[in-house]
Amino acid sequence: MKKLLCLLLALLMIASVAFVACGDKDDDNDNPYNDELDFNPQSSEPDTTEAPTEAPTTSAPVSLTFTDVNETVYVQNCVQVKVRSTPDASSEKNVVGVVDFGKSYKRVKVNELWSGIEVDGEILYLNTYFLTDKSNEVVFSMKENTPKVLYITNIDPNNGELGNVNLRTFTSTTPDTEFHPTGNIGFVAKHGAKLDVTGISDDGHWYRVNVTADGKTITNLYVYNGKYVTETNPVTE
């Protein structure tokens, strides 16, 4: 009888071990491309872009034959994007760094998917999706009707709660769609915060501002010219 009980206990132990070994596995932990950074946006702005990032994938075969070019290009559609020593995204071993939004580089090679750019004397590769031949530079000036002072306003119309608004360290080249990269938050301004305006973009989409907090002034920040700014102080005594 004792031998039978021992045999039954042994079988139960083997079954439990097998159950644990065959349990669900979190595949995300083994995904070599699961390396996006979470910037935890702190305002109600539509912050959805993650970084560093890769371009949208394509199943079509890509030729590795390059055309030699000599042109200036600018980083777009991201906060940061990986650059590689070879035009191959199947592994992370050839990732040698990142390049930042708005920075200019000399492109020397291009094909239907990849671009080769000069970075510190080396030719590195990234998806052409992240490059444009148009400058991201935005010109600012104080025009005759430009307000000298603005205030942050962010009140939830449903419950009256006050929210924050992100002030940016650089502007976007697609303000009409309110593209807001999450990696360029320079300051989180509360409802009613005062902004000293130092310029407005030529297209009227962005204000360049300074903000003072805790006795310190942060200069050259940017806020979208939209519903989150007003010329009238929204905080009443």
Give the model confidence (pLDDT) of 3-60 as tens digits: 555 555 555 554 443 333 333 333 222 222 222 222 233 333 333 333 445 555 554 4
What is the identity of the amino acid at 79? V
Domain of residue 68, residue span: 36-56+63-136
Q: Which residue has the higher pLDDT, 108 or 7?
A: 108
Q: Does position 219 have pLDDT exceeding 50, yes or no?
A: yes
146 and 195, same domain (yes or no): yes
Q: What is the CATH number of the domain that holds 51?
A: 2.30.30.40
Confidence band of 69 (pLDDT split at 50, 70, 90): very high
CA distance 165 to 46: 11
Q: Which residue has the higher pLDDT, 6 or 231?
A: 231
Residue 12 lies in a domain: no
What is the identity of the amino acid at 61? P
111 and 148, same domain (yes or no): no
Per DSSP (E only), the strands in 157-237 are 164-168, 185-190, 194-201, 206-213, 216-224, 229-230
Convert the pLDDT of each residue in 152-182 to its tens digit. 999 888 888 999 998 887 775 333 334 444 5
Q: Which residue has the higher pLDDT, 121 or 237?
A: 121
Separation of CA 152 from chain center: 23
DSSP code per residue over 78-127? SSEEEEESSS--S-STTEEEEEETT-EEEEEEE-SSEEEEEETTEEEEEE
Mean pLDDT for the stretch of residues 75-103? 86
Last residue of a domain, one of 136, 164, 196: 136
Last residue of a domain, one of 83, 114, 136: 136
Look up the pTM and report it. 0.49
| Structure tokens that stand for 157 in this block | 């119309």
Residue 16 lies in a domain: no
Total count of domains within the chain: 2
Confidence band of 73 (pLDDT split at 50, 70, 90): very high
Residue 7 lies in a domain: no
Handedness of CA 196, 199, 204, 206 (dihedral sign): negative
Residues 6+ apart with CB under 8 A from 168: 180, 184, 185, 186, 221, 222, 223
Mean pLDDT for the stretch of residues 195-221? 92
- Give the pLDDT score at 57: 54
Residues 6+ apart with CB under 8 A from 22: none
Residue 192 lies in a domain: yes
Tell me the three state secondary structure of residue 6.
Answer: helix
Last residue of a domain, one of 84, 101, 136: 136
What is the share, in percent, of the chain residues with pLDDT greater than 70?
65
Residue 26 lies in a domain: no
Residue 8 lies in a domain: no
Residue 23 lies in a domain: no
- Give the pLDDT score at 168: 83
Mean pLDDT for the stretch of residues 121-144? 86
122 and 167, same domain (yes or no): no
- Give the pLDDT score at 85: 95
Question: How many alpha carbons lie under 13 Å from residue 172 in its C-beta half-sphere?
Answer: 23
DSSP code per residue over 15-58? HHHHHHHTS---GGGG-TT---B-----SSS---B-BSB-PPP-
Tell me the three state secondary structure of residue 163.
Answer: coil
What is the share, in percent, of the chain residues with pLDDT greater than 90?
35
- Give the pLDDT score at 3: 53
145 and 72, same domain (yes or no): no
CA distance 217 to 210: 7
- Give the pLDDT score at 106: 96
